[in-house]
Structure 1
């Protein structure tokens, strides 16, 4: 998969692959603005920013999911496994997923976000809750397994050995 930046401001991202993409996913890693709580972050995102997204480009999204980080604070005497897991916790407050029909839909979203009027609405809203410098974007080539008990995959691995 290759990514071409076709606009000097990277407003349009076109993703091309050698195969048809059944599901096109973009993941955003987000952190809250310093000085606000996770509850304040979530409240603003859900009641303002997500509403802006649905209003301006919801027609381009197949799904729009916000996953909020549930951090675990462990006592000093926590067992080693719990401490090991807790040490791997992300410092991002939210992982947002967009599922789109294709790369053209993503291009349309970015064109809207770089529109002088619509883009300003989003930028101004982000100033209330988001640490814009920490935002990270992941364009995904999705591979998914179907649900199961693992027996089929185990059998396939044993056949290869």
Structure 2
């Protein structure tokens, strides 16, 4: 499997609950319409735990890590190329502006190693 990670931050003024609800009920459905060849579409929501020494809970840099999984290497490489060199469809941009701080979004690929 080949994997792309997308790190997303909620828009200022949007609560964690509002962010997660909107992503799951609206944005994920829209994103699937533009996700041809994706075999698995996961959202891993981040819940920061208190620092063991100070008890402080800091705001996470990202609120969700989205994973796009591919079985087909060609589709994966084409998707990586598209995401790194093209503007997203306007419908995606408009929707993301409703709940994301788009300027903080990051995309990465991963090579997994397991022992």
- TM-score between the two structures when normalised by the length of structure 2: 0.79
Which runs of no fewer than 5 residues in structure 2 stay unpaired? none
Residue number in structure 2 paired with 1:14: none
Q: CA deviation at 1:136?
A: 0.8
Q: Which has the larger radius of gyration?
A: 1
Equivalent pair of 2:10/2:99 in contact (CA under 8 Å): yes
- The one of 39, 49, 52 aligned to 1:62: 39
Whole-Å separation in 1 of the counterparts to 2:53 and 2:41: 32
Higher relative contact order structure (alpha carbons within 8 Å, sequence separation ≥ 6): 2
In 2 relative to 1, CA 73–87 (structure 1 residues): closer, same or farther, beyond 3 Å?
closer
- The one of 41, 48, 70 aligned to 1:71: 48
Which runs of no fewer than 5 residues in structure 1 stay unpaired? 1-22, 75-81, 146-161
Residue number in structure 1 paired with 2:63: 93
CA RMSD in angstroms comes to 2.9
**Residue correspondence of structure 1 range 10-89 to structure 2 within 5 A:** 23-57=1-35, 59-73=36-50, 82-83=52-53
Whole-Å separation in 2 of the counterparts to 1:62 and 1:71: 29
- TM-score between the two structures when normalised by the length of structure 1: 0.59
Q: Deviations over 1:65-94 (max 9, x none)?
A: 1011112346xxxxxxx2379778842100
Whole-Å separation in 1 of the counterparts to 2:108 and 2:54: 26
Residue number in structure 1 paired with 2:95: 125
Moved over 2 A (4+): 71-74, 83-91, 101-104, 108-111
Q: How many residues align?
A: 112
